[in-house]
Structure 1
Amino acid sequence: MPLELYLDLMSQPCRSVYMFAKTNNIPFDFKQTSLMMGDHHGEEFKKINMVKKVPAMRDGEFCLSESIAMMMYMVEKFKTPDHWYPADLQKRARVNEYLSWQHMATRMHGSKIFWINIMVPKIMGKEIPQDKRDDAIEELNGTLKIMEEKFVGDKQFIAGDQISLADLVAIVEIYQPFAAGMDVFEGRPKLKAWKDRVRQAVGPELFDEAHKGVMGAMEMVKGMDGSKLEAFKPRIQKMFF
């Protein structure tokens, strides 16, 4: 019986889970769960993940949330190639180092730009204050500097010569502001070269498929009925105003 993966590829963690499963030929049923349509708030989905977030996974009677936990579960269950989560102590530590750091760095700061450039104007009908926009850009630039100089550096990938879970988790977060109109790779040659290597390692066709939706997010959100996004207003108010 294949895994059930509840995903919305507009979500960064969903894209990392999707690419990992597809790259490793792990059988799964794709359960489309639209964040924009509020599918994650339904009673049926709550049975899968009580915190009402994607991605979520069901393996028989076993349900799991959190993208990193899900990929580690698949590493163990399906005995994926060692480079994804290396047995070597120090290489694994490099993967864990990035995964531990990224929650309050690439994830938080990359997401903020996406909200500022795409979601806030549509939902609130106004731009956020310029000082908060400038602060968000400065925070992301600082994160990208650390990403390029520390985590990528002169290596092929974050943990060494081969792609790992850390690279998948990193690339989807970095693509979020990129899709929102901020060229995060401009003036960062090492980061751009790393991005190209990750895309090649995953497979260009799969990589582009996974990111197709988010790369068209600006036009998609513009065409949406703003009233359907009302549920996001409290979150935006708390974050930006």
Structure 2
Amino acid sequence: MVLELYLDLYSQPCRSVFIFAKKNKIPFEFKKIALFEGEQYGEEFRKINMVSKVPAIRDGDFTLSESVAILMYMAEKFGTPDHWYPADLQKRARVNEYLSWQHSAIRMHGSKVLWLKLLIPLAMEIEVPKEKMDSAMEDLDGSLKIFEEKFLQDRAFIAGDKISIADLVAIVEIMQPFYAGEDVFLGRPKLAAWRDRLKAEVGPELFDEAHRDIMLAPEMAKNLDKSKMAVFKPRIVKLFL
């Protein structure tokens, strides 16, 4: 039975799983879960992941959620090249170190900028106070500084001279505010050079395929059905405002 990937490519963790599977020629069936349609709350998907989040996978009778766990599972099961999740203890530790840090840093702050910049004002028609936007950008800038100075340093990639799953997880998060209209690469030549190396390693066509939906985020936010967004409104307001 072919591996089933439950994804919505608006979601940055879904993009990392998609890129990894495609780049490594892992056979899979793409199961679209439209987040802004609320499909993650459907009864059938909750059988795959009871916490109603993507990405998730089904491999025969086995189901798994959480993008980092999924990437590790695919690397181990399908015997992908060692550089993705190195066997070397210290290189793997570098990958794990970044993956352990990023949840409350790059991921959180990049997502917040996208919501405050696009989805809340355009899709929910709520004015975002300037101080909220300024604070979010300050947090993101701080995380990007740590990423460059600690996790990247003078290396080509996070774990050394070759790309790893840590780099995939990082780039999809950093592209989130970029496509919201904040050029996070401006004035950061080291970050921009890393992005260019990563894109070349993945392949520009695959990179753009994975990001095609989020590239159109401003237009998407304007055209979202406001009535469908109402269900998300209380939680989003509490979380970000």
TM-score range, shorter chain: over 0.9
Return the alpha-carbon distance in structure 2 between the equivalents of residues 139 and 54 of structure 1: 25
1:18 maps to 2:23? no
1:79 maps to 2:76? no
Aligned-residue sequence identity (percent) comes to 67
2:100 corresponds to which residue?
A: 100
Aligned residue identity for 2:184: V
Per-residue CA deviations over 1:27-82 (Å, capped at 9, x if unaligned) read 00000110011111100000000000000100001000001101111111101100
Residue-pair matches, total: 241
TM-score normalized with structure 2 length: 0.98
Per-residue CA deviations over 1:145-195 (Å, capped at 9, x if unaligned) read 111121111110000000001000000000000010000000000000000
* Partner-residue secondary structure (3-state), 1:231: coil
1:112 corresponds to which residue?
A: 112
2:225 corresponds to which residue?
A: 225
| Bigger Cα displacement from structure 2, 213-222 vs 8-17 | 213-222
Aligned residue identity for 2:150: K
Contact 1:123–1:233 (CA under 8 A) maintained in structure 2: no
Return the alpha-carbon distance in structure 1 between the equivalents of residues 70 and 213 of structure 2: 22
Unaligned 5+ segments in structure 2 are none
Aligned residue identity for 2:174: I
1:55 corresponds to which residue?
A: 55
* Partner-residue secondary structure (3-state), 1:79: coil
* Partner-residue secondary structure (3-state), 1:155: coil
1:169 corresponds to which residue?
A: 169
Contact 1:21–1:27 (CA under 8 A) maintained in structure 2: yes
Aligned residue identity for 1:161: D
Contact 2:123–2:221 (CA under 8 A) maintained in structure 1: no
TM-score normalized with structure 1 length: 0.98
2:65 corresponds to which residue?
A: 65
Task: Kindly report structure 1 stretches of 4+ aligned residues shifted beyond 2 Å.
Answer: none
2:42 corresponds to which residue?
A: 42
Contact 1:128–1:240 (CA under 8 A) maintained in structure 2: no
Per-residue CA deviations over 1:118-158 (Å, capped at 9, x if unaligned) read 11012432222111111101000001111112111111000
Counterparts of 1:112-151 in structure 2 under 5 Å?
Answer: 112-151=112-151
Contact 1:3–1:60 (CA under 8 A) maintained in structure 2: yes
Counterparts of 1:190-205 in structure 2 under 5 Å?
Answer: 190-205=190-205
Return the alpha-carbon distance in structure 2 between the equivalents of residues 79 and 240 of structure 1: 40
Return the alpha-carbon distance in structure 1 between the equivalents of residues 56 and 236 of structure 2: 24
Contact 1:3–1:29 (CA under 8 A) maintained in structure 2: yes
RMSD: 0.8
Unaligned 5+ segments in structure 1 are none
Return the alpha-carbon distance in structure 2 between the equivalents of residues 207 and 84 of structure 1: 16
Contact 2:120–2:128 (CA under 8 A) maintained in structure 1: yes
Return the alpha-carbon distance in structure 1 between the equivalents of residues 22 and 105 of structure 2: 27
